[in-house]
Structure 1
Amino acid sequence: MNNYEILHPIGRGAYGNVYLYRRLSDNKHVVIKQIPTESITNAECEVTKNEVRVLAMFQHPNIIEYYDNYLDNNTIMIVMEYAPGGNLYDYLRSRGEGNLLPEEDVLNLFCQLVLGMLHIHESKILHRDIKSNNILLDRSHRVVKIGDFGISKILSR
């Protein structure tokens, strides 16, 4: 943890909490999902290991990038790319009722989502939890990043 400075919490997951950090080596913002090992079952630990395995397989502009993982004080730390635009669900709700996205923006986001999903499926992975909460956005809300591979499944090749 000496390589990171905590900035603030940004969310809660099924097994742990997610925090925004600043990586000291390059001042880049990263997300660290923290999962305490003593408060999860063996099955939940396997889900966490699976998420790390799956994330490490991808390098695609429309999938959250995996950087590292390690154990710190009985807590699994998963270091990932930060998507400063939040998730699609919150973004659409923040626009207010009746303030629809222009068709061009919808098509742009949809095409990126399809490209990310195509890469996931070509890698023989099923995400199994695609929803607007797991579609993350860049600061401009114009670039899609698929996240949360916790319950994904690696298919036999």
Structure 2
Amino acid sequence: MTTTATPPHPAHDTPLSIQLLTVEGSAYGPYVALPVSPPTPYAAHLFTRATAELILHDMHRDECGIRGEFDPATGALTFTWDRHHDGTGGTETVTPDAYGRYPIGGLWAWDEWGDHVPHTAGQAAYALGAAEYRESVTTAFPDGLIELYDRGREEAHRLTLRRDEP
């Protein structure tokens, strides 16, 4: 089975609220995501190229039966899987939207990243930075964690096109 995902487009004049996700049953992420429809475990969310690359890295490390590769010419991301994943195998190609965000979903279940997910102090700092991307920085961090906090903030800004929400 081969499918091509059409990038969903949130209305450009609507507020953008991020979510923090992980692959269900894993400690990966948090992945900074932008929902484009009511969130469900298999719904597609928008991700920056950097986060899409992190998702691929984690999938390949986990040997989950799904592989992904970016086309160097077009930037499209193609997922492939064998019959052990879903009984038939297939491919799906996702292309970035006009802002370079990739709609990824449907091949595995997403879960909200939170306290129920085992995580490191670095993952928590990154998640807090992403969650507080519209706020003034007032939190003090031990050495090394402020950089992860700042990276989370920056990723959320890139994903939401640096727009502030009301």
Q: Which has the higher helix share?
A: 1
| TM-score of the pair, normalised by structure 1 | 0.27
Which structure's relative contact order is higher, taking Cα pairs within 8 Å and 6+ residues apart? Answer: 2
| TM-score of the pair, normalised by structure 2 | 0.26
Q: Which has the higher strand share?
A: 1
